[in-house]
Structure 1
Amino acid sequence: MRVAARAAFVLLLAGAMMSGGAPQAQTGATPPPAGGTPDQMPYDVPYGVPINLERAKQVLAAAEAEALKRNWKMNIAVVDTHGDLVHFVRMDGAQLASVTIAQNKARTAARWRRESRVFYNAYETGHPYLGTLDPQLAASPGGFPLIEGGKLIGALGCSGGTGDQDAVICKVGADLIR
């Protein structure tokens, strides 16, 4: 093992010398800004009692009715405050890849306490680091937190159409919760 470690060090040192010198230590330079420091925590929505199955069925039914009205084939997921599945429907003919996407959008909205569109917007404005934060993060419109009485009780995720179509369907279900 010592021989392998020594060989790795020699290679690292040789690479540093070929690039113009030995590796340099940090000199106390100011780190780059990370978007400023807000006075209050963003998206600081307290957790409430997780959505129950009966309520999840109502939310999903409203979203599904809107999708049927528009003839949009959707996968629709309702999750609890932890992002775990409570209720799900795959409408006839809905895109199979969207089964997981709908669940991930709902999980993203619940775990991050914000609409999944926020992450889409961040990617669009050149902030791809967000993908390193959670491998299941869904940076796409169509995931809405379910907020009741100012507290997060779960989230709704829709997938099968464009991101904006998914968001339209989800908003109908999310609007049932107040």
Structure 2
Amino acid sequence: MQSKPFLTLDDVKKIAAAAEAEAKANNWPVTIAICDDGGHMLWLQRLDGAAPISSHIAPAKARTSALGRRESRIYEELINNGRVSFLSAPEVEGLLEGGVNIVVDGHTIGAVGVSGVKSSEDAQIAKAGIAALV
């Protein structure tokens, strides 16, 4: 039997604090979502001024990244390059850049999804959060 690392509440708080700091340093009103490797929400935080829809998009990006074990931007790129069949993939809703999987010792243990600014900036915030952990 193999064992793998998993996110603790303390880990999630570290990721969230670092992601929030990155967003605030750039004056970006976003929603930050963190989930485990099964796509189950562990954290949702909507910063002041973030659009209400971002509280739906950020978790979808996180879930897509965790379940797919890759950044959500990969799906966006596939679709933009003509592979529109991914639009019908089950459990895959956040098909935009901004979901980044958390990899520890080669295992995806969760993901961070961010929504509210340009997709590349969403990803920047997610990666800043993850950097606080790994």
TM interval, short-chain normalised = over 0.9
- Note closer, same or farther for the CA distance 1:50–1:128 as it changes in structure 2 (3 Å cut): same
Task: Tell me the distance in 1 between the aligned counterparts of 2:34 and 2:83.
Answer: 28
Normalized against structure 2, the TM-score is what? 0.93
* 2:20 corresponding residue in structure 1: 64
Deviation at 1:142, TM superposition (A): 0.4
Per-residue deviation at 1:151?
A: 1.3
Aligned-residue RMSD, C-alpha: 1.6
Q: 1:107 to 1:124 in 2, by over 3 A?
A: same
Question: Is 1:150 equivalent to 2:106 in the alignment?
Answer: yes
Distance 1:96 1:63, change over 3 A: same
Confirm or deny that 1:76 pairs with 2:32: yes
Letter in 2 for 1:97: I
Q: Work out which structure has the larger RCO, using CA pairs closer than 8 Å and 6 or more positions apart in sequence.
A: 2
**1:110 corresponds to 2:66:** yes
Give the SS at the match of 1:67: helix
**Equivalent in the alignment of 2:75:** 119
* Structure-1-length-normalised TM-score: 0.71
Distance 2:102 2:4 in 1: 10
* AA matched with 2:77: N
1:137 corresponds to which residue? 93
Quote how far apart the aligned CAs of 1:93 are. 0.9
Segments of 5+ residues of structure 2 without an aligned counterpart are none
* Count of residues paired in the alignment: 133
